[in-house]
Amino acid sequence: MQREEKQLESALEAIIMRVNDLKTAIASMIIKLECEYETLNWPNFLDNFAIISGHLTSLSKILSHDKALNLKHYTVLPLHLSPEKDEELMRLTENRISTFAHDLVPDYLRTKPDPQVEQKLLTYEAKVNTLNFDQANEFNKQVQQYNKVLGMVIDAINKNREEMENETKSRTTQMQTSSSADTHALINAVCNGKGLKSDVQMVQSGVNPVANNMLVGRLAGQSQTPGQGPMVGQMSKAPSAIKTNIKAASQIHPYGR
């Protein structure tokens, strides 16, 4: 008897642990449905539902294990009924049950469904048993057709989800619109004159040196810090093909002294 009692206690402890885990998962699901319904999405809901399903599977394995005691051989009987408030009962039930009275015991210790529910189940079972082969085959075809439609809907949803995910990924990965090598080369050309050709080489290659020098002068003037004057001396003069003869000012002055 002592060994059997110890086995019963250990089995009940394991069952209570699994039931508490299941209760916590269900409470978390209810909180998310009531408080986080605006941000709750379908994948998170399925994850929580999978957690609940896992706890139910663990509980079923414990109950169906060979070494587990068959709880059907045991009966729960109320030892004390009282309409008064019971603090220990409230602690054990997390303030859900305050009294263990005569009108509540049939509901709390019920091992069968509610009489109305049981009557409906019996009605459905009797209706199923009266079906002939043709009617059962027709219902089977309807179920298969319904499953086919559901499969098509699921495939369409998965396809749209993949397209949305691919579109989101393509938006996040933007195309490169600049080259760091070209940027450094342009900065070295403007600030240090690196890579610029001489006037003679530019004339031979057909490039207008005046316009190029003016452009380089503007870029160099913009790169100066505030307070510095324009870089006039750094600008090279354009070669002139016209010969000029400039006389002294004293020779052409009309009013001699």
Rounded to whole angstroms, the Cα distance separating 10 from 13 reads 5
Residue 203 is predicted with a pLDDT of 43
pLDDT reading at 225 higher than 50: no
Task: Quick: pLDDT tens for 16-43.
Answer: 888 989 999 999 999 888 888 888 888 8
Q: Determine the average pLDDT of the residues in 190-218.
A: 58
Answering whether pTM is above 0.75, one says no
* Predicted confidence band of residue 230 (pLDDT cuts 50, 70, 90): very low
Rounded to whole angstroms, the Cα distance separating 254 from 5 reads 139
Residue 175 is predicted with a pLDDT of 63
**Joined tokens for residue 18:** 């699994």
* Predicted confidence band of residue 208 (pLDDT cuts 50, 70, 90): low
- Topology at the third CATH level for domain 1-74: Methane Monooxygenase Hydroxylase; Chain G, domain 1 (1.20.58)
Give the N- to C-terminal CA distance of the chain in Å, as an integer: 148
- Residue 105 burial (CB count, 10 A): 13
Rounded to whole angstroms, the Cα distance separating 43 from 48 reads 9
Q: Contact 14/62 with Cβ under 8 angstroms?
A: yes
The alpha helices in 64-198, defined as continuous H runs, are: 87-92, 105-108, 115-129, 133-172, 180-192
Q: Contact 195/184 with Cβ under 8 angstroms?
A: no
* Predicted confidence band of residue 198 (pLDDT cuts 50, 70, 90): low
pLDDT reading at 234 higher than 50: no
- At residue 82, φ and ψ (nearest 5 deg) are -155, 135
Sole residue written with tokens 């008897």: 1
Provide the CA 216 distance to its chain's centre, in angstroms.
52
pLDDT reading at 82 higher than 80: yes
* Predicted confidence band of residue 229 (pLDDT cuts 50, 70, 90): very low
Task: Quick: pLDDT tens for 105-161.
Answer: 888 888 777 888 889 989 988 887 887 888 888 888 898 899 999 999 999 999 998
Using the CB atoms, write b or e for 199-222: b if 16+ within 10 Å: beebeeeeeebeebbeebbeebee
Domain coordinates of the chain in residue numbers?
Answer: 1-74, 76-111, 113-168, 184-222
Angle at which helix 42-63 crosses helix 2-35, to 10 degrees, equals 170
Task: Quick: pLDDT tens for 150-181.
Answer: 999 999 999 998 888 888 777 766 666 778 88
**Joined tokens for residue 244:** 């000029």
Rounded to whole angstroms, the Cα distance separating 63 from 15 reads 8
Residue 185 is predicted with a pLDDT of 86
